[in-house]
Amino acid sequence: MIEIDPERLIGNLRKLSEFGRCGTGVHRTAFSDEDLAARNWLSDKLAAAGLGVEMDGFGNVIGRGASRSGPHVLVGSHTDTVPRGGWLDGALGVIYGLELAQAIADVGEPDLARVDVISFQDEEGTYFSCLGSRSFVGELSEADLDAARNAAGERLRDVLARRSMNAGQRLRLDPGQYSAYLEAHIEQGPLLEAEGVPIGIVTGIVGIRRFRVTVSGQADHAGTTPMRMRRDAGRALLTLANRLNACFETDANPNTVWNFGSISFKPGAPNVVPAEAELMVEFRDVDASVLDRFEARLHEVCTPRQGQMPVEVGVTTLANEPPTLMDESIAKAAEHAARSLAAASRRMPSGAGHDAMVIGRHVPTGMIFVPSIGGRSHDISESTHEADIVRGCRVLAATLSQLLN
Amino acid sequence: MIEIDPERLIGNLRKLSEFGRCGTGVHRTAFSDEDLAARNWLSDKLAAAGLGVEMDGFGNVIGRGASRSGPHVLVGSHTDTVPRGGWLDGALGVIYGLELAQAIADVGEPDLARVDVISFQDEEGTYFSCLGSRSFVGELSEADLDAARNAAGERLRDVLARRSMNAGQRLRLDPGQYSAYLEAHIEQGPLLEAEGVPIGIVTGIVGIRRFRVTVSGQADHAGTTPMRMRRDAGRALLTLANRLNACFETDANPNTVWNFGSISFKPGAPNVVPAEAELMVEFRDVDASVLDRFEARLHEVCTPRQGQMPVEVGVTTLANEPPTLMDESIAKAAEHAARSLAAASRRMPSGAGHDAMVIGRHVPTGMIFVPSIGGRSHDISESTHEADIVRGCRVLAATLSQLLN
């Protein structure tokens, strides 16, 4: 039985949140001074818990348990944040890992020292989304590195040079090294709080498909051009968007989500019939067959029959991320762990990307969620009640116990 | 019988188009060097046709027929253009007036000299829409003048000072001075060309109502927020826009037009549920009761029943221009004139604003349209076949003859 220390856990989370503090949140973007200082602090804490610590040329930090008997379990997440982000996104999963290592050290049983703790670099994509975990599993190419730059256009290569960081020196996953990767995270959505369920057992990380729909018509004077003689890109797009939404409502599974996040008409004057119209469409599901169905509907709706609409419609794929399923036996272990602690749990997909999405392609992976207050995240208002934070760590500890046995 | 000279007519139109020539079009915005030079040229031509010419402090040019027996007929339009505009928008109606004055001088019958010709200043609203005609009828306030500025922010007051033009010196309409105002114009739409009808008899100038519809919801992560828990301003607006369009299609008269010219979602990222959404809606008709019906529908659709949509919807009025009906007896005279010349004609509204909209509130007014090639205008591609230009002038001459008798 691994017994966590709630006070130490919360204390370490609070301590970490001091690096880049920003009101009630944290501004600790990847490769910033605050990010690297936090990674050094973490390294010291892991070493003090008896782990063998290494930081690689990207700032990925790993602490390795001392035991050499059999495969280890890797526990972690990331310590970088979005600009003006929250104190728990990423941090929670890493500090849970630290707490588990400290709790194991407290027990003093050498066979339990089969837990490694990791903080991946730049999960949030300040330069390149999931940079650290992609590098760890060998999915980061030199071309990716060449292309990586921040919103201000600064190249990651230049940042590494300025920081004297050596991108050639990398932590790498060895096949068979780990029996499992465990990542705990805040939900970043409103579901657990709304349902009063403290633990989410993640079934998978959704695949994302993102498209740009463009409609081309003709700009005309909106006073002098009779309705029947218009080639109105705007009204055509409004019709298509509503048809799409109706199809999606029919075809969706309970967990499917979709979004029309951006729309524009050009030239965009109130008295000019729109010549061009553009809509961003994305949808997410853990089930690739749902994504296929939605995509087929999109192409169907956006291919109006000859003569049905006096405009041209185009669809461009902007992103196509496949879903990553979580490991079923780990999910069962987490469910069992929650039950043993009298904590209600529910299965749910993760609608956002995580390092677990990358690691899960190579190592059996499990994720648990704790509730986000008001569903908020990626903002300084992000938080989770302390009782939920502690409960989540206990469930992770109980899950780990099963995996180590 | 007033006999026009087709060669002189086309020659004067071509000559005027040299002031500010811009490819196949004209760039002669109000108060530019080219605009003022064209107004001086016009003054000379009107004087040479025996008219008493005056230019006021805005550059409004009037030429008055010599006869003092009874009310005159005022004929004209404007000689300023939009930036990079066409050679006929405005110019046509003014040069028709010049041609009629010249043709009357050719006849040499003193009693016919009851035609005044006018070119109003800044119909296109470089500084203030219909500046000249509004000033002429006394609808331009000092506050309007204070507010008048161009797209670059230059104040009209400053331009007048720089040009040593005296805004206090104004041409003003005297009550009873005119029995009619006649304005010929290019259609600026595709209808006459498409139907093969060379003459449009304008029934009225449409009223315009313009609104901003705003929807407020909540920004959420488009991956982690279940569909049923969203307050999605974007999808709500798409639904409202389509309902509106369906209502408008049902409620419209054959000539009613409406436009959704501009739309936006905020924050506008593909992976964020829109918190704010905005749509520009305008509709036009010569019949105020249609405008009332449309506006009632707008408010109806944008007041969703309690609990029907988890968003707030607001409607702001941006413009409310009443329709101006043209004089029925003048329209009948123009119809008769067209028939007498074996030219087909059709009644139609003007979907765009004209000086006739302003003058028509004070003097019985008639407008005729000639076809626009491809419906184009406000662009250097604007044109009309010479045969149509000549025919239009002949119809205007025959109309005038009836009004003078």
Neighbours of A95 (CB within 10 A): 31
> In terms of Cα–Cα distance, which of A389, A290, A392, A400 is closest to A10?
A389
**The pLDDT value given to residue B93:** 98
Please say if the pLDDT value at position A307 is more than 90: no
pLDDT digit string, tens, across residues A94-144: 999 999 999 999 999 999 999 999 999 999 999 999 999 999 999 999 999
Q: Supply the Cα-derived Rg of chain B in whole angstroms.
A: 24
Distance from CA of B292 to the nearest CA of A (A): 17
- Tell me, what's the pLDDT at A112? 94
Secondary element (H or E) of residue B104? helix B91-107
- If you average pLDDT over residues A296-301, what whole number do you get? 97
Instruction: Give the model's pLDDT for residue B147.
Output: 94
Write down the residue that tokens 């009310």 correspond to.
Answer: B71
> Which chain A residues are within 8 Å of B187, Cβ to Cβ?
224
- Residue B74's pLDDT is 98
- Chain A contact for B129, CB < 8 A? no
| Confidence label for A324 from pLDDT (cuts 50, 70 and 90) | very high
Do B19 and B28 form a contact (C-beta atoms < 8 A)? Answer: yes
Report if pTM > 0.90: no
List for chain A the helix, strand, coil content (%; round to 5).
35, 25, 40
What residues are paired with A221 via a beta bridge? Answer: A272
Are B293 and B362 in contact, with CB atoms under 8 Å apart?
A: no
What pLDDT does residue B363 have? 97
What pLDDT score does B309 carry?
84
B6 touches chain A (CB under 8 A): no
In this predicted structure, what is the pLDDT of residue A289? 97
State how far residue B404 is from chain A, nearest Cα, in angstroms.
31
- Kindly state whether B310 is in contact with chain A, defined as any CB-CB distance less than 8 angstroms: no
Nearest neighbour of B262 by CB, restricted to A188, A206, A270: A270
Q: How far apart are CA B89 and CA B370, in angstroms?
A: 11
HSE value, Cβ hemisphere, 13 Å, CA-based, for B365 = 22
Shortest Cα–Cα distance, A90 to chain B (Å): 16
Contacts of B194 in chain A (CB under 8 A): 229
Ramachandran region, residue B67 (left: φ > 0; alpha: ψ -120 to 50; beta: rest): beta
Nearest CB among B188, B234, B274 relative to A224 is that of B188
Q: Return the pLDDT at A1.
A: 80
Distance from CA of A245 to the nearest CA of B (A): 8
CB hemisphere CA count around B38 (13 angstroms): 33
The residues that bridge with A207 in the sheet, in sequence order, are: A285
- pLDDT, one tens digit per residue, over A58-67 is 999 999 999 9
Contact B194 A229 (CB under 8 A): yes
Could you tell me the CA-to-CA distances from A195 to A127, A205, A285, A343, A346 in Å, in that order? Answer: 36, 21, 21, 13, 10
Q: Which pLDDT score, from 0 to 100, does residue B306 have?
A: 73
Shortest Cα distance, chain A CAs vs residue B194, angstroms: 9
SS3 A259: strand
Q: How far apart are CA A122 and CA A135, in angstroms?
A: 11
Instruction: Check residue A308 and give its pLDDT.
Output: 80
Q: Are strands B115-120 and B72-78 parallel, antiparallel or unpaired?
A: parallel
Query: Which pLDDT belongs to residue B304?
Result: 79
Query: Do residues B184 and B96 lie in contact, with contact meaning Cβ atoms separated by under 8 Å?
Result: yes
**pLDDT digit string (tens) for chain B, length 405 residues:** 899 999 999 999 999 999 999 999 999 999 999 999 999 999 999 999 999 999 999 999 999 999 998 899 999 999 999 999 999 999 999 999 999 999 999 999 999 999 999 999 999 999 999 999 999 999 999 999 999 999 999 999 999 999 999 999 999 999 899 999 999 999 999 999 999 999 999 999 999 999 999 999 999 999 999 999 999 999 999 999 999 999 999 999 999 999 999 999 999 999 999 999 999 999 999 999 999 999 999 999 999 777 788 999 999 999 999 999 999 999 999 999 999 999 999 999 999 999 999 999 999 999 999 999 999 999 999 999 999 999 999 999 999 999 998
Write down the pLDDT at residue B130.
96
Residue-level pLDDT at B305: 79
Does the beta carbon of A259 lie under 8 angstroms from any beta carbon of chain B? yes
The minimal CB distance from B223 to the residues A241, A257, A262 is found for: A257
pLDDT range class, residue A369, cuts 50, 70, 90: very high
Q: What's the mean per-residue pLDDT of chain A?
A: 96
Of B225, B238, B269, the CB nearest to A242: B238
Cα(A217)–Cα(A330) distance, rounded to whole angstroms? Answer: 53
A268 touches chain B (CB under 8 A): yes
Tell me which residues of chain B, numbers 182 to 221, contact chain A at a CB-CB cutoff of 8 Å: 187-191, 194, 206, 208, 210, 220-221
Asked if A280 is an interface residue toward chain B (Cβ–Cβ < 8 A), one would say yes
The whole-angstrom separation of Cα B82 and Cα B318 is: 22
The answer, for A226 touching chain B at a CB cutoff of 8 Å, is yes
Radius of gyration in angstroms for the set of CA atoms belonging to chain A, rounded to a whole number: 24
CB proximity A166 to B under 8 Å = no
Q: Which residue of A has its CA nearest to B229?
A: A190
* In chain A, % of residues over pLDDT 70: 100
